[in-house]
Amino acid sequence: MRAKLGSVFQRRKKLPDGTVKTLSPWWIKYTRAGQVFRESSGSDNRSEAGLLLKKRLGQIADGRFGGLRRSACA
């Protein structure tokens, strides 16, 4: 069996009335050296998120992944 390297998912939010709403955009999740990274794909298209995941996994395999930068939130 092959190890799972990452995943593509949509976040969900539970509303006050108890219903669950699926949010856009798609997100990716992957690990590097035991650290979990979650990143928004910025797209409503699942296949675009899958391409971003493949890109990140390739960067990790090639040693070009330096981590993610925090966005400046005011």
* Confidence (pLDDT) at 18: 96
* Confidence (pLDDT) at 66: 77
User: Of 9, 45, 13, 47, nearest to 27 (Cα)?
Assistant: 9
- Block mean pLDDT (10 aa), the chain, length 74: 82 97 96 92 96 95 81 56
* Confidence (pLDDT) at 2: 60
* Confidence (pLDDT) at 55: 95
AA identity, residue 48: E
CA of residue 48 relative to chain centroid, distance: 11
* Confidence (pLDDT) at 40: 95
